[in-house]
Amino acid sequence: MIDTVIFDLGKVLVEYDWESYLKQFCFDEKTFQVLADAIFLSEAWILGDQGAVTPEEWLQCFLQNAPHNEKEVRQVFEGLAGCIHKFPYTDRLIAHFREKGCRIYYLSNYSEGLYEMTKEELGFINSFDGGVFSYKEKCIKPEEKIYKTLLTRYNIKPENAIFFDDRPENVEAAKMLGIQGVVFTPKVAEEYLG
């Protein structure tokens, strides 16, 4: 019997849309691509999720990736909170599982820098029973260690848990540990909420 729900955050409970955010700056096409590669598509972004760099070091990595665009990199970095917005269905989806008596957790690849900028938008996680951010654990999904950390820390029985994540490889990693997994899309939210 499912008594525990584990949510990824980005593209599950919050919109993570860096492309729309970056387009708001109206940079020319070349600058857009330089900044996309230097920030969002860079190895440095993953280093942030892994907790391998501080927020200041994270910014320095982005600046090194685009040395001729320092002003633009700083501008984009300072407004990163604009990438994250709670979905309209989020509160209802959480309430749906709460009403069924489920414990609720989060398991998310997230950097300290982005968390500091978006913790207000993520305020709803304060009502959760707990959770794990990758930057604090120094490992990321789909590494087995991060799932085991969550299971052990909160005494979660894998066979009683369901995990929602937008990335198939993360769902597969959860399934390998006996957790029921669902590749999440907004359609999945609709199915649960009727």
Phi first, then psi: give them for residue 182, nearest 5 degrees: -130, 125
Q: Which two tokens stand for residue 176?
A: 């390998």
Kindly list the distances between the CA atom of residue 76 and the CA atoms of 22, 50, 52, 107, in Å, as whole numbers in the listed order: 7, 21, 21, 26
List, for residues 29-50, the tens digit of each pLDDT value. 999 999 999 999 999 999 999 9
Kindly list the distances between the CA atom of residue 164 and the CA atoms of 72, 95, 136, in Å, as whole numbers in the listed order: 35, 15, 21
Structure confidence at residue 170 as a pLDDT band (50, 70, 90)? very high
Kindly list the distances between the CA atom of residue 160 and the CA atoms of 92, 168, 194, in Å, as whole numbers in the listed order: 22, 20, 23
pLDDT at 194: 80
- Compute the distance between CA of residue 13 and CA of residue 8 in angstroms, rounded to an integer: 7
List, for residues 47-106, the tens digit of each pLDDT value. 999 999 999 999 999 999 999 999 999 999 999 999 999 999 999 999 999 999 999 999
* Average pLDDT over every residue of 152-173: 99
Closest CA to 47 of 32, 71, 150, 55: 55
Domains along the chain? Answer: 4-15+85-193 (3.40.50.1000), 16-83 (no CATH)
- Compute the distance between CA of residue 184 and CA of residue 71 in angstroms, rounded to an integer: 36
List, for residues 14-31, the tens digit of each pLDDT value. 999 999 999 999 999 999
- Compute the distance between CA of residue 178 and CA of residue 45 in angstroms, rounded to an integer: 30
Predicted model pTM? 0.96
